[in-house]
Chain A
């Protein structure tokens, strides 16, 4: 076996291989998948001299530890955490040289949820439909890391940037604020639904995972009780199952579903949603409509993060509960 590989020493609660996903296959029932915090994944790739789309490790809450068989440049970003090499403190958000056989550890997230580990050359598992991402809904891509498993590394394309980017991490705000645009099925709910969403009475549920951010709080009541035939879903769709508690769909969301979507969250707010811990308060606010002429979206938003606790794992095959029409 080649020396360009990582051995998994501590897998953590849930660590997966992610790149920027496999969009373009939704009509075949294939979720887009990919890093839940793509800006963090891009950043760690830039720090080690990779292209943006190289595959990285995405951890959940308590980090992970790996032992490269070769000397490699690595970087840890996303949710801030202690970084060590063979137990000695190393930099977070900056390139770190890891000697062959040393253990690189990303500790538990200090705030946020998901840290990203990038390696020069990227994680070189086989691509499926053009992506190396683990898709926890469909089981496509590599399985979540387990202790003792070995991941191949690609060939670095050159030296790391001499002046690496900074790795900003705004402090967690008191509340996760998600900008939404109502529809397409807001008329399936009572007129009180928008006010309920804006009330700030929701909290992130510990049942959240890569498929969706599940919320606890006041149930949204249906005005139309008919069964909705399955229809296509988008990233950020706020779907309302029969219990009335909204689910914000993240990267591993099903491609179709049979429960009504009351609103869609602005894609720029989803990384913050993916970093929100269970218990974090959530409020939905109306998004400013995009201007017609420029095709650009408004840019008043700021990056928001959240705090709380999490112990959830994304599970394989958790297809149930996204719609009434599933086989």
Chain B
């Protein structure tokens, strides 16, 4: 763990990998819920960092953080969000080819994995999901699409994501979900919040 000051009010905590970052994020949420974390405005996990912004005394927390015993992530007792998906995306064939398998098998592989929201970004409610085995990482499309339909299930690098709304995008589209991912009138507005567990279930095409 490396704790880097970011301005006068924030700390960027750098971890060895995504799993460590997710474990620290979970521990931070536990401590905040228990009232044992100093007041903090934002806790923003990312690929292998957690940002703590809006701290009154970042130096004090920076000294304490490396002494924390952070338990590894456990899947126990946490609800799994199920997202029904039609695996009908325009890049499904390309992804199957990249994986050197059939489309049917690619669907089976993707739907068999269990995912976790590592972090959100890009657009409100867009979650970067980890959980697909490492060997199935795929490149981004060489040319991004100017418009990706809302609900598109997409892959890039180690991540799976679902576009909450129409936007430009460079990920490989493998399916479509009707689930509402972002609704500002709902609490929380984002269906996929950092740390959430997710499964994709196969809907008939």
The residues of A with any CB-CB pair to B shorter than 8 Å are 23-30, 128-129, 138, 140, 181, 183-184, 229-234, 236-237, 254-256, 261, 264-267, 287, 290, 292, 295, 297, 317, 319-320, 325-327
**Contact partners of A29 in chain B: CB under 8 A:** 120-126, 190
A230 to B57, CA, bound (A): 25
Is B163 among interface residues, defined by CB-CB distance under 8 A? yes
A232 to B6, CA, bound (A): 10
**Contact partners of B73 in chain A: CB under 8 A:** none
A326 to B154, CA, bound (A): 12
Is B41 among interface residues, defined by CB-CB distance under 8 A? yes
Are A24 and B41 in touch, CB under 8 angstroms? Answer: yes
Is B175 among interface residues, defined by CB-CB distance under 8 A? no
Task: Pick from B12, B148, B156, B170: contact of A231, CB below 8 A.
Answer: B12
Q: In chain B, what residue has the closest Cβ to A324? A: B140
**Contact partners of A183 in chain B: CB under 8 A:** 4-6
A162 to B126, CA, bound (A): 49
Are A128 and B184 in touch, CB under 8 angstroms? Answer: yes
**Contact partners of B19 in chain A: CB under 8 A:** none
A234-B6, A317-B168 provided; 15 other pairs, C-beta below 8 A?
A25-B124, A25-B189, A26-B51, A29-B120, A29-B126, A29-B190, A230-B47, A231-B12, A232-B46, A236-B7, A287-B8, A319-B122, A320-B168, A327-B161, A327-B171
Please name the 5 residue pairs, one residue from A and one from B, whose CB atoms are nearest each other, closest first.
A232-B51, A264-B7, A229-B47, A232-B44, A256-B121
**Contact partners of A320 in chain B: CB under 8 A:** 168
Is B193 among interface residues, defined by CB-CB distance under 8 A? yes
Mask: chain B, 187-200; 1 = CB below 8 Å from A; 0 = not: 01110011000000
**Contact partners of B47 in chain A: CB under 8 A:** 229-231, 325
Is B87 among interface residues, defined by CB-CB distance under 8 A? no
Q: In chain A, what residue has the closest Cβ to B55? A: A295
Are B7 and A234 in touch, CB under 8 angstroms? Answer: yes
Q: In chain A, what residue has the closest Cβ to B171? A: A327
**Contact partners of A327 in chain B: CB under 8 A:** 122, 126, 148, 154, 156, 161, 163, 167, 169-171
A25 to B125, CA, bound (A): 10
Kindly name the residue among B7, B119, B120, B121 whose own CB sees the greatest number of chain A CB atoms within 10 A: B121
6 contacts between A and B (CB under 8 A): A23-B54, A232-B53, A254-B122, A255-B44, A264-B6, A264-B7
A129 to B193, CA, bound (A): 15
Secondary structure call for the A interface: loop
Is B42 among interface residues, defined by CB-CB distance under 8 A? yes
A296 to B157, CA, bound (A): 43
Are A230 and B184 in touch, CB under 8 angstroms? Answer: no
A28 to chain B minimum Cβ distance, whole angstroms, is 4
Is B49 among interface residues, defined by CB-CB distance under 8 A? yes
Interface residues of B in 142-196 (CB under 8 A from A): 148, 154, 156-157, 161, 163, 167-171, 184, 188-190, 193-194
Are A26 and B53 in touch, CB under 8 angstroms? Answer: yes
Is B59 among interface residues, defined by CB-CB distance under 8 A? yes
Is B10 among interface residues, defined by CB-CB distance under 8 A? yes
**Contact partners of A290 in chain B: CB under 8 A:** 8
Contact A229/B46 with A23-B54, A28-B193, A236-B7 known, Cβ cut-off 8 Å: yes
Contact A23/B42 with A231-B12, A234-B10 known, Cβ cut-off 8 Å: yes
Are A229 and B48 in touch, CB under 8 angstroms? Answer: yes
**Contact partners of B51 in chain A: CB under 8 A:** 26, 231-234
A24 to B124, CA, bound (A): 13
Are B184 and A184 in touch, CB under 8 angstroms? Answer: no
A25 to B124, CA, bound (A): 9
Is B82 among interface residues, defined by CB-CB distance under 8 A? no
Is B43 among interface residues, defined by CB-CB distance under 8 A? yes
**Contact partners of B105 in chain A: CB under 8 A:** none
Are B124 and A138 in touch, CB under 8 angstroms? Answer: yes
Interface residues of B in 74-116 (CB under 8 A from A): none
**Contact partners of A140 in chain B: CB under 8 A:** 124, 184
Task: Pick from B8, B167, B188, B194: contact of A319, CB below 8 A.
Answer: B167
Contact A266/B167 with A28-B125, A28-B193 known, Cβ cut-off 8 Å: no
**Contact partners of B4 in chain A: CB under 8 A:** 183-184
A181 to B59, CA, bound (A): 14
Q: In chain A, what residue has the closest Cβ to B163? A: A327
Are B42 and A27 in touch, CB under 8 angstroms? Answer: yes
Are B189 and A129 in touch, CB under 8 angstroms? Answer: yes
Task: Pick from A25, A232, A236, A287: contact of B12, CB below 8 A.
Answer: A232
A237 to B8, CA, bound (A): 11
Q: In chain A, what residue has the closest Cβ to B156? A: A327
**Contact partners of A181 in chain B: CB under 8 A:** 5, 7-8
Is B56 among interface residues, defined by CB-CB distance under 8 A? yes
Q: In chain A, what residue has the closest Cβ to B121? A: A256
A325 to B139, CA, bound (A): 11
Q: In chain B, what residue has the closest Cβ to A130? A: B184
Q: In chain B, what residue has the closest Cβ to A317? A: B167
B154 to chain A minimum Cβ distance, whole angstroms, is 6
